[in-house]
Amino acid sequence: MSKKSSLISKHIRTLTKPSRSSLATLSLLALFLAGCGESTAKAPAHAVSAAAPPIARVTTVTPERMTIRRISEQPGQIEAAEVTAMYAKLAGYLETVSADIGDRVKKGQVMAELRVPEVEADLKQKRALIDQAQAEKRQAEATVSVALARVLSAEAKVSETKAGIRRAEADVARWQAEFTRVQQLAHERALTGSLVDETRSKVGAAEASRDEVQAQVKSNEALVAEAKAELDKTRSDVLAAAAHVEVARFEAERAAAMASYQKIEAPYDGIVTRQNADTGQLTTPGTTGEPLFVVARSGVVTVSVGVPETDAPFVNVGDPAHVRLLALNDRTFDGKVTRTAWALEPATRTLLTEIDLPASDDALRPGLYAYVTVVAEEHENALTLPATAIVKDGGKTFCVTVADGRAKRTEIKLGLTEGKRTEVVSGLREGERVVEANAGSLTDGQAVEANEPQADTAKPKT
């Protein structure tokens, strides 16, 4: 008999008079002992379960090689490559208006004309001043010719008087010799004293004539100097007159430039997007008020997008970019990053990035909403895993490989991530079987039952 049965029998024997309370006590005692028996029976099974974890069923994949990219997908907007608000530089009245919204214009095409009479009058005056200055220059050039003739005349007189000096000196020498001869004859009493006096007078007259000629030479030389000074002055007058001509010409060019502002011309090939011009309207110079026209450059548009700071350091000019337009049934246009702002916007922490696209038709219009994909990096033939196969624990990155029915945590180094796949730079070999999902629940060395490797479909779009 068991110990439990002995206790029941002993308790029954002690009861001499059966009652409801004694019967209830017996019932509770029987239930207690029965529960103890069940607990004792189940204990061995629980111990076995704790000692041997169940075999885990897992799905495995093998790493695959493919091209993987670092991409930034952000909303953007199409803008015109250039937009010019056109104002009048002059205050005047619009005489003609020949452009309206939607019109295509060519560079230099006249879109409107002003009427400014005072500007036209000023231009005529400045052109007349050119004629006046040119006439003054011709007059100065004629004065140079006259002054040059005076110089030549004075120089000829100098030459002539210098020749007279030689004749006068010859006369002086002849009369001095004659005076010496006569004086000798008079000393010998061959001639009278009156002849000596007469000869002396002749010598004095010759010397006086010589002195007169010499003085005339100096006078003529002074005239030459005066004539040359006058010549220099007239030449300076010619230079001044020429400068006046240039000044008048520049003034006329300035007046012509101001007159040209009477025509409002297209700055480049484009399309008129706004028009606020009416015939007879008085224009105000400057950029106050509404512009007469707004022109957007045609042939090219710019797609602007803000790249987040996490991707901004990797975006460079020349990176491939794809622009998708919802308004055109997800039509995609391929291009390249044309320019970046380099510095991030403080308010949004984004990098302004622009992609120029040729706009050969009217499909790409300023203001359209776009989704922009910028390919910042691209690694070809990269070894990749599904993102679900990667475990991060304690600052390290792992995947769980399966070999010989056992799980093994393998530390790996990651590279780029695109969509649902991540590049494995090191730590994993091609062909190894890797647990596809819930790898973090497995312990190192745990027994697993793995299916055959399956082809992974979580590949990034190319």
The yes-or-no verdict on residue 53 having pLDDT over 90 is no
CATH number of 89-116+262-291: 2.40.50.100
Label the pairing between strands 270-275 and 64-80.
unpaired
- Give me the architecture of the 56-68+380-450 domain, per CATH: Beta Barrel (2.40)
The yes-or-no verdict on residue 321 having pLDDT over 70 is yes
- Min mean pLDDT across 138-152, 218-232, 403-417 is at 218-232
In angstroms, the CA 407 to CA 444 distance is 6
Q: Can you tell me the mean pLDDT for 227-237?
A: 80
* Reported pTM: 0.61
The yes-or-no verdict on residue 215 having pLDDT over 90 is no
Domain extents for the chain?
56-68+380-450, 89-116+262-291, 118-260, 294-378
- Place 22 in a pLDDT band, splitting at 50, 70 and 90: very low
Amino acid in position 124: K
Task: Return the top range by mean pLDDT from 178-182, 301-305, 447-451.
Answer: 301-305
Q: Tell me which long-range contacts 389-396 makes (C-beta under 8 A, separation of at least 24).
A: 389/61, 389/434, 389/435, 389/436, 389/437, 389/439, 390/414, 390/422, 390/439, 391/439, 391/440, 393/440
| pLDDT of res. 190 | 58
- Comparing CA positions, the residue from 437, 315, 336 lying closest to residue 386 is 437
| pLDDT of res. 421 | 94
- Comparing CA positions, the residue from 124, 128, 84, 99 lying closest to residue 258 is 124
- Place 32 in a pLDDT band, splitting at 50, 70 and 90: very low
CATH number of 294-378: 2.40.30.170
Fold that domain 118-260 belongs to in CATH = Helix Hairpins (1.10.287)
- Min mean pLDDT across 119-133, 164-178, 356-370, 401-415 is at 164-178
Q: Is 109 exposed, middle or buried (0-12, 13-18, 19+ CB in 10 A)?
A: middle
Tell me what percent of the residues of the chain surpass a pLDDT of 70.
77
Residue 296: strand pairing partners: 83, 271
| pLDDT of res. 65 | 95
| pLDDT of res. 372 | 97
- Place 97 in a pLDDT band, splitting at 50, 70 and 90: very high
Residue 272: strand pairing partners: 295
| pLDDT of res. 232 | 80
- Min mean pLDDT across 62-71, 74-83, 141-150, 284-293 is at 141-150
Q: Can you tell me the mean pLDDT for 98-108?
A: 96
| pLDDT of res. 228 | 77
| pLDDT of res. 382 | 95
| pLDDT of res. 6 | 47
Same fold across 56-68+380-450 and 294-378: no
In angstroms, the CA 318 to CA 355 distance is 9
| pLDDT of res. 453 | 55
Q: Can you tell me the mean pLDDT for 195-223?
A: 70
Q: Can you tell me the mean pLDDT for 188-193?
A: 60
- Min mean pLDDT across 20-24, 391-395, 416-420, 424-428 is at 20-24
| pLDDT of res. 29 | 38
On whether the CB atoms of residues 460 and 419 are closer than 8 A, the answer is yes
- The residue among 53 and 373 whose pLDDT is bigger is 373
| pLDDT of res. 28 | 41
